[in-house]
Structure formats: C-alpha cells, structure tokens
Chains A and B, each alone.
Chain A
Amino acid sequence: MTASERPLLLAASLAYLVVVLAIGVWAARRTRNARDFFIAGQGVGLVVAALATMSAAFSGFVFLGGPGLTYRMGIVSLFIVAPVGFTSGLLCWVVGKRLRLLAEAREVFTVPDAIACRYRSRAAAGLAAVAVALGTVGYLGAQFLALGVLLQSMLGLQGLAPAVAVGVAVVLAYSVAGGMLAGVYTDLFQGALMTVAALAVFALAVRVPGGWSAITASIADAEAFGPRFLDPLGGGTAFTAFGFFFVFGVGVLGQPQMLHKFYMLRDPRQLRWFPAVLGGSQAACILIWVGIGLAVPALVAQGRLAPLERPDDAAAAFLLGFAPDALAGLVLAAVLAAIMSTADSFVNIGSAALVRDLPRALRRPVRDELLWGRIVTVGLAVAAASLALAYGDLVALLGTFAFGTFAAALAPALAVGLNWTRVTARAACVSIVTGTVLNVTLELLRRTDAFPFAAGVLPAAVALAGSFAALFLATWWTAPPRGEAAPDETVRAVMEA
C-alpha cells in the first residue's frame, strides 16, 4: 500500500511542507541584504547553528541512502557514520574557530571568501568556487535523487522524473525566496524533527524483527545475506571500510554546507558547547541508518518483507510496511526534512560560489548579488535534477562522490592552511586542483576496467590523500609567503588564536 492510500501519513507530510514553506515566506520578509541571504545576518545562537549544521550535513544520504547502502553492502557501510564520534570536535578545533574568528574581522560569507582572506589569492578563491559549484551539483543531485525515490515510494508514481520535479519545485520555492535565512530556520525545524523521528524509528526497527539477537541471527542464517553481512569488512575490503572512515571523518573539514554555519554564530564564545550539541544530535540521527539498515535485511530474511528490487527503497519499505501511520508520517516528513534542508543549503552555497566568489576572482563582480543569487539558484537546481535522473545508481554512492569532491578539493587548503602560515597560495591551488581532478577522474575510471587502484579502494579516499600530499609537497617546495602574499596581521591573529 502506498502513502497515497493512507490519509494520516499524507497529512503529516503535507503539514511538514506547509510549515517549511511558511518559514520560507517569513524569512523572505526578513531578508534585506546579502548578509541576511548568505549568513543569516550573523545572528544565530548555539542550538540553532548546531542543529542547522547537523540537518545540512545529514541529508537524504543518511536517512534514505544509508539504509539502502547497508542493505547492499552490510555493516561495512556503517564506517561512514562511525566518525561522528570525533568529527564535531575536529571541525571546531581545526576550522570552526578560525572561520568564526575570521568572520569577526572580515566580511566573509562563503568558503572561497575564507580562502581569499587566508591566501590573498584570487586564483585560489576562484578554484575553490569552481570546486564548490561542481560539488554542489553532485550533492544537490543526490538530494533530488533521494527525494524522487521517496516520493515514488510514497505516492506510487511511475518513473522518477515527476517525483524529482515536485521536490525541486518545493526546494526552490523557499530557498529562492529566503536564502540562507530561510535555510537556517528550516534547518532548525528539520533538525529537531529528524532527531525525534530517528529516536522513535530506531526503537521500532529493533522491536519489529524481534530484538537484536533475532536481527543478527536472521541475517546470519539467510542465504541472501549470511555472516559476511555482519562482518565489519565482509561487504568490502579494509580499503572500503577505512576509506569510508577517512573520507567522512576527515573530509568533513571541507564541507561548505557545514562550514558556513560557523559564520552565522552570533558570538564566537558559543562554540564551547557546539561539539556536544552537534555530535549529540548527529549520534541520535544515525540511529535511523543503523535501525532500518539492519531491520530490513532481517525482515527479508524472516520472510516478512519481499526482497527489495532497489536497495534505496529500504527506508520507505520499512516505514510503509511496519510503522503506524502517525509514526510513518512523522518519519517520512523527517526524511523529507533531511533531504530538503541539505538541498536548500546547497542551493544557496552553489549560487554564492557562482554569483559572488567566481566573479570576484575573475574581477567581474556582480552588481545585484541578491537578484542573481536567486536566478542562478534555478539553474543549479535544474542541472542537479538532470544529474539525478541520469545517474542510475544508489543515492549513497552519488552522495559519496559529492562529499568526496568537497573533501578532496577544500579540506587540506582549509584545515592545514588556516593553522600553518607556511602554506602558500600556490600550494593551496595545487591541492584544490589535485583533489577535484583526481576525484572526478577516478570516479569515472571506477566505472571502467581502467581503475588503477586495488579492489575496494574509494576514489574519494585516494583524491583526499592525494590532495593532502599535494598540499604538503607543494608547500615544502614553494617559497614561504613573504610581503603582500603572506597573511596580513589580522589573519595571522586569527591563525594564532
């Protein structure tokens, strides 16, 4: 039975959409300038910023792609979410503090802005903007693909295209209207919804198949899954498992949808409890991945659920088949929230890269950034929706590629560059180009026999390690910054703080 035949379930989802649109309209009225549009007027408190960071980071990838990936690969997929144990602290210690202090001293709205301040290099800022735009199309594509899969399951639509079109229209409606101000408050609402729903569905997911023992026993005994499913490296090699850990643990330092939130904090001292709130809410949300990811194969093994034709249907199949209408409605609304909160963050980040950062790097600044931001947003959404329809694989794999693009392109230049004055603008450029080109090229080669690495190696892991190596080697081999190319006194003060 689809959601369209269950009125309570549909009502919950529609109520969610109405609230989100209302927030968008409210925020649009408060959006007066580019500062409001891009960094929410730098007036956001700790809980709002941390929950918005979580909901921007945890997307359809976690709520829908995650259980799908676990269904296909087994518990090796959980290496993607395990790093949340330290990533919130890593973010704050390594880049969050510096970015927020930079925003105290300079008018920085975007990641390329921070790179421009740090390296005093238009080339580095421009390359970062290109990487952000590329990653944005990939990440938005993953969100639209997830949205399409979800709406198809909920409404029983034939074909992805109409479902994706509905999702794109809603995301555009509030992000074009309200920019990041709408984004951050919808993120807050969506983050709270995601946390509550994840806790509720986890309890159900453990109970329905008969508890933990029954889940592991059913999976281990099933021919379709077997003990390999529960083996930490069973569904891949150590390269896959620890590659996930590396990319999603360290690559978090290059994710603009998370880094932007640091600019929005009202007071830098609010960072003290940021890792606790961010990490706690992330830990709660990954329960939905763990719960549904293990419950669905157990239910298939027990013969209570038909084997899935498409792994990405795992979350919807569980919710529509085993959750009471009210809970299913809440959780499906939360999945929509997870997808759309990330999508609207990226819509704004991508438009900032193309409307602010790239033109400035090319010395062709745009006069009306607010207007052009809204126009470019539409173009990005259309490009991402096209990618979503053309991709033809799991949501999580498209998400890994996009996450890897940001990670490999931006993490080394930011994480090392903001903490070590010796890093040169040339080294940052080499690292950004190496990371971007390696990730895209290896992702394409992975689909052919020409992939030059060992079995199970993730293109994003190679690109991230390569980008770090390129940054260090280029720094050692290029002259240390002197005179005008060195960070100025204010930026040095930020880096020494």
Chain B
Amino acid sequence: MGRRGKESRVSRNLAVATLTLLSLALLAATLVGHPLAQAVFAIGALAFPVPLIALGVARRDGSARLGAVLLALTLLLVGSGVGLLALSGGGAGGAPALLVLLLGLGVAPLVLVAIAYAVAFGRAGIDERDLRRIRRLAGGERPGTDGDAGG
C-alpha cells in the first residue's frame, strides 16, 4: 500500500472512530439531562457533520486537501454554537443571537462549503480517471441492482 493509500485509510478510520464516539456521546447525553450533558450534546451535534465529510472525502489525498476547510468548518459551527450557548439566558439574546445563528451557522458555512466543493472538485469530488474506470467496469454488466445475495 502506498503512502497516500495509508493516509486515506488513517483518515477514514479516524473519521469512523470520531463518528462512533460522537453518536454514543449524543445518545448518552439525552439520557442524562444534566446541564453539562446539554453542552456535550450541543457540541456533539455541531461537530457531527465534519467527520462525515471527512469520511466522504477520505480517498487518496481528498481529506488532506480539505483539511483546512474541515478545520474552518469545525471552528465556524462549534464556535457559533458556543457563542449561542453563551448568549442564551439573561435576556442577552435578541439581535446578536439572531446574527450568530443566521450568519455563523448559516451564511458563512454556505460560502465556505460551496466554494471549497467547486474548487476541490477534481480531487475530492469526481475526477476523470474514476469516471472512466466506472464506465469501463459498468460496460459489461448494466443493468440490474444485484440485490440477490440474501442477507
């Protein structure tokens, strides 16, 4: 296995391990109900999409190329969430909370993700070699959904 293949496997395993821990933490937090559990739930929910994306792009050098984007997305989502938790209570919400909610969790990630997806499309999206390979493999076997192995 080449260095890139090994890196891809490490990225994927890291993403899977993180997702496993996050899903168990979210589940445990809902059972406890303590204020600390609420904070754990909030951060877990905010962070969950990032390892999912990392899993989706953990091919060859995809997740390494998107490392900065994933880090920025984590900071935006978790930072905005923590900001909202801090703003809640004591009547401090209002316009600042709305701003953080709509800009920090909505608009800023949208700009980041839309641009990053288009720019990194060749590496983390679809590249021509993959497409040619799939079309070549598909040439002899289409159609059918192959759902006949039991299970």
Contact = CB atoms under 8 A, between A and B. Distances in A.
Interface of A: 75, 78-79, 81-86, 88-90, 92-95, 97, 101, 104-108, 113, 116-117, 119-125, 212-213, 216, 220, 227, 230-234, 237-239, 241-243, 245-246, 249-250, 253, 268-269, 271-276, 279-280, 283, 286, 290, 360-361, 415-416, 419-420, 425-426, 429, 452-455, 457, 461-462, 465-466, 468-469, 472-473, 476, 484-485, 488-490, 493-494, 496-497
**Do most interface residues of chain A lie in helix, strand or loop, or is the interface mixed?**
helix
Given A230-B93, A238-B38, A104 B27 contact: no
Contact of A122 (B101, B114, B124, B151): B151
- For chain B, give the interface size range: 35 or more
A227 B94 contact: yes
Contacts of A241: 42, 84
Given A101-B126, A116-B145, A239-B29, 6 more contacts: A85-B105, A117-B147, A361-B147, A457-B33, A472-B16, A497-B134
Interface in B97-114: 97-98, 100-102, 105-110, 113-114
Contacts of A75: 93, 97-98, 101
B52 to A, nearest CB: 6
B111 to A, nearest CB: 8
22 contacts: A82-B101, A83-B105, A85-B110, A85-B113, A90-B56, A93-B117, A97-B56, A101-B130, A104-B138, A106-B145, A107-B145, A232-B88, A232-B97, A238-B39, A243-B41, A269-B126, A360-B147, A453-B30, A454-B33, A454-B38, A465-B26, A490-B138
Interface in B30-75: 30-33, 37-39, 41-42, 44-46, 48-49, 52-53, 55-59, 73
Contacts of B105: 79, 82-83, 85, 245
A104 B141 CA distance: 11
A272 B97 contact: no
A212 B149 contact: no
A209 to B, nearest CB: 14
Contacts of B94: 216, 220, 227, 230
B130 A497 contact: yes
B1 interface: no
**Do most interface residues of chain B lie in helix, strand or loop, or is the interface mixed?**
helix
Given A106-B145, A416-B55, A465-B26, A279 B110 contact: yes
B101 to A, nearest CB: 6
A453 B88 CA distance: 22
Given A105-B142, A494-B134, A121 B150 contact: yes
A94 B53 contact: yes
B24 to A, nearest CB: 5
Contact of A275 (B42, B44, B114, B142): B114
Nearest to A35: B143
A243 B85 CA distance: 14
A122 B147 contact: yes
A462 B88 contact: no
A369 to B, nearest CB: 13
A116 B108 CA distance: 37
B91 A231 contact: yes
B2 interface: no
Given A231-B93, A233-B84, A86 B110 contact: yes
B53 A90 contact: yes
B88 A113 contact: no
A271 B126 contact: yes
A497 B85 contact: no
Contacts of A120: 146-149, 151
B61 to A, nearest CB: 13
Nearest to A470: B23
A78 B126 contact: no
B73 A86 contact: yes
Tell me which of B91, B141, B146 has the highest count of chain A C-beta atoms within 10 A of its own C-beta.
B146
B109 A85 contact: yes
A243 B27 CA distance: 11
Given A107-B142, A232-B84, A86 B89 contact: no
A-B pairs with lowest CB-CB distance, top 8: A454-B33, A121-B151, A116-B147, A89-B113, A85-B109, A107-B143, A105-B138, A94-B56
